[in-house]
Amino acid sequence: MAEKRLKLCGWGFEGDGLSKEDTDILLERVRTRHGIEAAEPRYAPTLEAIELPKPKTDIPAALQAFSENAVYDRATHTYGKSYPDYLNIFDGNFTNAPDFVAYPRNEDEIEAALDWATGARVAVIPFGGGSSVVGGVEPAVGTGFAGAISLDLTKLDQVVEIDRTSRAARIQGGIRVPAMEAALKPHGLTMRHFPQSMDMATLGGMIATRSGGHYATLYTHIDDFVESLRTVTPNGVMESRRLPGSGAGPSPDRLMIGSEGALGIITEAWMRLQDRPTHRASSTVLFDDYTKAADAVRAVSQAGLFPANLRLLDAAEAYNNGFGDGRQSVLVLNFESADHPLDAWLARAREICGDYGGTYDTDTAQDPDAHRSGAAGAWRKAFIEMPHYREILVSIGVVADTIETAITWDAFPVFHEKVMAAAHAAIEEATGRPGTVSCRFTHVYPDGPAPYYSLQGAGRHGALDEQWRHIKAKASDAVIEHGGTITHHHAVGRDHMPWYVRQRPDTFGAALAGAKARLDPAGILNPGVIVPV
Amino acid sequence: MAEKRLKLCGWGFEGDGLSKEDTDILLERVRTRHGIEAAEPRYAPTLEAIELPKPKTDIPAALQAFSENAVYDRATHTYGKSYPDYLNIFDGNFTNAPDFVAYPRNEDEIEAALDWATGARVAVIPFGGGSSVVGGVEPAVGTGFAGAISLDLTKLDQVVEIDRTSRAARIQGGIRVPAMEAALKPHGLTMRHFPQSMDMATLGGMIATRSGGHYATLYTHIDDFVESLRTVTPNGVMESRRLPGSGAGPSPDRLMIGSEGALGIITEAWMRLQDRPTHRASSTVLFDDYTKAADAVRAVSQAGLFPANLRLLDAAEAYNNGFGDGRQSVLVLNFESADHPLDAWLARAREICGDYGGTYDTDTAQDPDAHRSGAAGAWRKAFIEMPHYREILVSIGVVADTIETAITWDAFPVFHEKVMAAAHAAIEEATGRPGTVSCRFTHVYPDGPAPYYSLQGAGRHGALDEQWRHIKAKASDAVIEHGGTITHHHAVGRDHMPWYVRQRPDTFGAALAGAKARLDPAGILNPGVIVPV
């Protein structure tokens, strides 16, 4: 099988993307929404057209067998998939390109890379799916280093061992989700952790960024699926014991989960898996009143029913994603099980929704293909295609971002009002025109929802970076000021650091810096991320 | 209300204990089991009869308002509730008594204590319920300190604030479980985290030791109930944000959860709570074949039904606790909900048990008092009284301990065989006679059980400490050698440190030491626990 090549600009691999027809529909819809006149979109440069800075460091002999410094390798490892990343690519700005890309095939090669980098004081930026939307993989390490390289982990792509009895598997960190699921399928197993980045995302990347997945309740983050971890640090290998649970000191795994490459390289994990679901029961519930809809979601999440999907889309979000009438909120409710029919579960959840004024169709219940039809199906299609939208928005000068967070239920009403207001105001300040802000709950907890805000405004080519920065900063300020987290599942990266250091206790920052000093004494691992330089 | 006084020796407060009748029944049962002739039991000394070493340090002026160095205070803060603790008390050995006990009433007083101790290089041993069974609260700090004090947190005993909407409360670290539950009850809320130590245990102590509670599945450890933490360290206060979920870096709370007082003093936590259950459905399931019983438990735990109780008692364990016929394994199965009837849940769980040869009565299903009757009721009574047994065993020279762990399902059969064999052999080696070893599952996960082994043998007064050490070491060696954790929920303390350092990755040990160096630069907090001195 020929290896897939990463796109220089945009989501996925060369050849991936929306059809011409879908692109035209989307362009028309976005232009109409923002009153933008049709004009030829801007195009991203080709690989041949861009110029990279001269590398600060050559590939040393010890790493030559698995490193590359061709334009393709350096350029495709300069950025992730954020809005400003795309802007920079459109502008041909590759100032922070890595000096070279190492593609280690085993732990020995990772150790060789870390040893050399520690000695040479070269920054090492771990690169998995490359799907960071928060500046997590850009080698923007400042002037304190003799160079910076990208450490691409995607050659570590095997499911190594399967324990069917305990429903767990030992899996390498660089495997992408589709390959992992394909390897698990013959055993009747699945991780069922499907972030929106699933086409590209790697297991190690998802663990390092505490990704949020398929399950809207209970198993929301990948954290709970981690049974044990194996990590290579500049100071040696850290491997935790496979255990279903333990009370022996602070969890070693929880220190590495969310460390975003700043403490070590996740090379392997034993992951807890699921049986493939055979029973499904779904409803789409409509609410006239958004506040009551949120109350219904709270009540369902506190009832101990644990639906797989409990995603509330506000009226604008629903409409933008191709369903609903633009006035009603839409709740996508779905149960799934590999063990038992779900009649009792769905009936009680519907009853609760009814208590809060929700109305629902009864047709789709118990349909094993319910997740592929109706509103759930429409949502599924939109969810899968969404990552491709961003590059299109950039091309026609629409400024856009997403702000995702979590907040307790008591604080949610005021929080939501303030964040919505701040986002609207920021778009208008930046662009001079009102924009759109919509909200969905991606995940829900008994003590609060994880709201995800989508922001768009009619920007101006040439000013988009400044406009984006203004909107991002104002919306993030509101999130932090009113009690939320700067990220529920997109991670911190470089973009969120100013708000992360406001969110996390300084004393914890000191503890993390103390831990990093022991694991990575030269401070070469993803500098500036999680632990300030 | 007059303040309860701690017992010098034994479980609970002065006046607590088994009735004379229950004590006699127990003595008779244990003597019969081990073939011990009736003789006058040994008695623990009274406060008046014991002698304490001269304090190394006096109470400094800054701490005088809230510190005591009377014999009662020093003696009751010298030990926890382990078997060797009781032996030492019986022997009148108070070598490691704290120089004084500080009872801070607020964070300022905690900071004053830590400031003074840091300057004076005096070790500080946090003391909550004092119910450690692993040497977690004994001021055995070696010669590297100018003294050692016990920091008793039980004056921080308030439920400060309740958020009914998010079902959470801000609670001080020194409150005991019964007082906390009493304060929550009028709000219709409960934490429903009931370790066997619940009469004494404090919230902060349970968090610091990752205690295991009421729920046999899903919410097993207290970890998941922690919404945010406030901790006082020698280097300042660490307070995490109240969040239902977050992906912003490694979890600050997870570093403190399980830190056993070595990184800071937990003064407050926002805890996730439950509605008080109104629906219950239970069965007692009997199995002739223990292996099949374990398989049934695995299947139920992997089915996504989440019973509150799923405790499998092997035949000996069931019989010793007053139910079963000594040949069959007994599974205590119970569902509870504050939201919905549980017919569908129980029916499916029973069906699974039936598939593995389990037989069950149908009478108790749906009885709201099911947890107080039948085998579940017998188990409940035994569970509550069990902590009182240990002091009685010591008095008649029975050597006893518990080994609790967790292991993946694939490894469980061999692991169980090896640990049982090692325990039996160790008792016989130590005492010259066969003893008894029984097993129950306290908690169960989709990827493995948490087995809890109870060990007893006929020891000899004067040799009990040596006999206990031999048995503890051999059984712990087997646990570590065959892949288990040295503790699922009793914590590490000083007793488990030799096996903890074999279990946890050395690299993680280095990271923890780095974190501790930043939070507790003088290394005064619970020295020797979690982070080796």
Is A248–B212 a contact, with Cβ atoms under 8 angstroms apart?
no
Confidence band for B1, pLDDT divided at 50, 70 and 90: very low
Mutation target for A interface from B243, B291, B410: give the one with most A CBs within 10 A: B243
Instruction: Give chain B positions within 8 Å (CB) of A344.
Output: 340, 343-345
Give the pLDDT mean for B190-206.
Answer: 96
The pTM of this model reads: 0.97
- Name the residue with tokens 């079963």: B324
Residue A412: the pLDDT is 98
> Cβ contacts (< 8 Å) between B231 and chain A: which residues?
507
How many residues make up chain B in this entry? 533
Q: Which of B133, B131, B135, B61 is nearest to B100 (CA)?
A: B61
CB count within 10 Å of CB A291 equals: 13
CB–CB contact B410 A238 (8 Å): no
Task: Identify the CA nearest to A147 among candidates A187, A172, A117, A102.
Answer: A117
How far is A300 from chain B, CA to nearest CA, in Å?
A: 9
> Residues with Cβ < 8 Å from B417, sequence gap 6 or more?
none
Straight-line distance from the first to the last Cα atom of chain B, in angstroms, rounded to the nearest whole number: 42
Could you give phi then psi for residue B236, rounded to 5 degrees? 120, 175
Which residue has 């802000």 as its token pair?
Answer: A437
- How far is B395 from chain A, CA to nearest CA, in Å? 30
Contact flag B515-A515 (C-beta cutoff 8 Å) = yes
pLDDT at position B319: 86
Q: Select from A303, A443, A489 the Cβ nearest to the Cβ of B340.
A: A303
Phi first, then psi, for residue B169 (nearest 5°) are: -145, 150
Q: pLDDT higher for A489 or B4?
A: A489
Q: Among candidates B216, B378, B384, which has minimal Cα distance to B310?
A: B216
Within 8 A of A519 by CB-CB distance, chain B residues are 507, 510-511, 514
Whether B210 sits inside 8 A of A260 (CB atoms) is no
Q: Which residues of B touch A257 (CB under 8 A)?
A: 250-251
Burial label, B144 (beta-carbon count in 10 A; 0-12, 13-18, 19+): exposed
Q: How many CA atoms lie within 13 A of A277 on its CB side?
A: 22
Contact yes or no for B500 and A245 at CB 8 A: no
Neighbouring CB atoms inside 10 A of B42's CB total 11
Contact B256, B525 (CB under 8 A): no
The residue in chain A having the minimum alpha-carbon distance to the alpha carbon of residue B167 is: A447
Interface contact flag, A514 B510, Cβ < 8 Å: no
pLDDT tens per residue, range B216-266: 999 999 999 999 999 999 999 999 999 999 999 999 999 999 999 999 999
List C-alpha distances in Å: B89 to B7, B128, B249, B387: 11, 19, 46, 17
Q: Find chain A residues with C-beta within 8 A of B167's C-beta.
A: 302, 446-447
Looking at every residue in chain B, the average pLDDT score rounds to 95
Q: State the pairing for strand pair B189-190/B159-163.
A: unpaired
**What is the rounded CA–CA span in Å between residue B512 and residue A512?**
9
What's the pLDDT at A208?
Answer: 98
Type of residue found at B63: L
Q: Chain B contacts of A337, Cβ < 8 Å?
A: 303-304
**Which of B241, B483, B518 has the CB atom closest to A511's CB atom?**
B518
In degrees rounded to 5, what are phi and psi of residue B312? Answer: -95, 120
Rounded Cα–Cα distance for residues B353 and B292 (Å): 9
Task: Quickly count: other Cβ atoms within 10 Å of residue B354's Cβ.
Answer: 13
Match 């016990």 to its residue by tokens: B150
Q: Tell me what the mean pLDDT of segment B277-306 comes to.
A: 97
**What's the whole-number average pLDDT of chain A?**
95
Helix (H, G, I), strand (E, B) or coil at A484: coil
pLDDT (0 to 100) of residue B388: 86
A vs B, Cβ pairs < 8 A, gives 307
Q: Which of A193, A231, A243, A343 would you mutate first to test chain B, the one with the most B CBs within 10 A?
A: A243
The alpha-carbon gap from A396 to the nearest alpha carbon of chain B, in Å, equals 32
Strand partners, A148: A123
Tell me A49's DSSP state. Answer: G
Question: Which residues sit opposite A159 in a β-bridge?
Answer: A171
Q: What is the pLDDT of residue B172?
A: 98
| Dihedral sign of CA atoms B104, B105, B110, B116 in order | negative
Question: Chain B closest CA to A35's CA: distance in Å?
Answer: 36
Q: Do A248 and B518 touch (CB under 8 A)?
A: no
The DSSP result for A228-258, as a single string, is EEEEEETTEEEE----S---SSS-HHHHHTT
The answer to whether the CB of A471 falls within 8 A of the CB of A426 is yes
Residue B365 has pLDDT above 60, yes or no: no
The whole-number pLDDT of residue A1 equals 46
Nearest-neighbour CA in chain A from B445: distance (Å): 6
* d(C-alpha A75, C-alpha A194), whole Å: 27
CB contact under 8 A, A507 and B227: no
The amino acid that residue A3 corresponds to is E
Measured in angstroms, the CA of A239 and the nearest CA of chain B are apart by 6
Q: How far apart are CA A279 and CA A338, in angstroms?
A: 6
All residues of chain A having their beta carbon less than 8 Å from the beta carbon of residue B217 are none
Residue B508 and residue A255: Cβ atoms within 8 Å? yes
Closest Cβ–Cβ partner in B245, B304, B504 for A221? B245
Going by the DSSP 8-state scheme, the letter that residue A128 receives in this structure is: S
d(CA B151, CA B261): 10
| CB-based contact A249 B450, cutoff 8 Å | no
Query: Is A508 within 8 Å of B406 when comparing Cβ atoms?
Result: no
Nearest neighbour of A487 by CB, restricted to B248, B256, B443: B248
Q: Residues of A with CB below 8 A from B250's CB?
A: 254-259, 512, 530
Give tens-digit pLDDT for B87-133: 999 999 999 999 999 999 999 999 999 999 999 999 999 999 999 99
Contact A338 B530 (CB under 8 A): no
Does residue A6 sit in helix, strand or coil?
strand
For residue B525, the cross-strand partners are B124
User: Token match 């006082």: residue?
Assistant: B232
What is the pLDDT averaged over residues B152-172? Answer: 98
Residue for token digits 């007994």? B330
**Cβ separation B210–A247 shorter than 8 A:** yes
Chain A residues with beta carbon closer than 8 angstroms to that of B263? 511
* % of chain B exceeding 90 in pLDDT: 86
Residue B388 to chain A, least CA–CA distance (Å): 23
Chain A CB contacts of B344 under 8 Å are: 340, 343-345
Q: How confident is the model at residue B436 (pLDDT cuts 50, 70, 90)?
A: very high
Report how far residue B11's alpha carbon sits from residue B21's, in angstroms, rounded to the nearest whole number: 18
Instruction: Assess whether pLDDT exceeds 70 at residue B367.
Output: no
- Structure confidence at residue A242 (pLDDT): 98
CB contact under 8 A, B512 and A515: yes
Given pLDDT bands bounded at 50, 70 and 90, which one contains residue B366?
Answer: low
Say which residue the tokens 């006035």 belong to. A327
Selection from A341, A286, A342 nearest residue A314 by Cα: A286
Q: What is the pLDDT along chain A (533 residues), one digit of tens a residue?
A: 457 899 999 999 998 888 888 888 888 888 998 998 888 889 999 999 999 999 999 999 999 999 999 999 999 999 999 999 999 999 999 999 999 999 999 999 999 999 999 999 999 999 999 999 999 999 999 999 999 999 999 999 999 999 999 999 999 999 999 999 999 999 999 999 999 999 999 999 999 999 999 899 999 999 999 999 999 999 999 999 999 999 999 999 999 999 999 999 999 999 999 999 999 999 999 999 999 999 999 999 999 999 999 999 999 999 887 777 889 999 999 999 999 999 999 999 999 999 999 999 876 555 556 666 666 777 777 777 788 888 889 999 999 999 999 999 999 999 999 999 999 999 999 999 999 999 999 999 999 999 999 999 999 999 999 999 999 999 999 999 999 999 999 999 999 999 999 999 999 999 999 999 999 999 999 999 999 99
Angle CA B23–B28–B32, to nearest 5:
150
CB–CB of B445 and A247 under 8 A? no
Residue in chain B nearest A492 by alpha carbon: B248
Q: What letter does residue B212 receive in the DSSP assignment?
A: B
| Contact check, Cβ <8 Å, A306/B303 | no
Dig out the tokens for B147 from the structure: 């003294």
Q: Which amino acid is at B273?
A: L
Instruction: Sort B412 into a burial class: Cβ within 10 Å, 0-12 / 13-18 / 19+.
Output: buried
Which token pair is A519?
Answer: 């694991």
- CB contact (8 A) between residue A247 and residue B485: yes
Contacts of B236 in chain A (CB under 8 A): 506-507
Q: Do B348 and A339 touch (CB under 8 A)?
A: yes
Q: From the CA of B252, how many Å to the nearest CA of chain A? A: 6
**Shortest CA gap B371–chain A (Å):** 19
Question: What is A317-381 written as a DSSP string?
Answer: HHHHTT-S-SSSEEEEEEEEESSS--HHHHHHHHHHHHHTT-EE-STTTT-TTGGGSHHHHHHHH
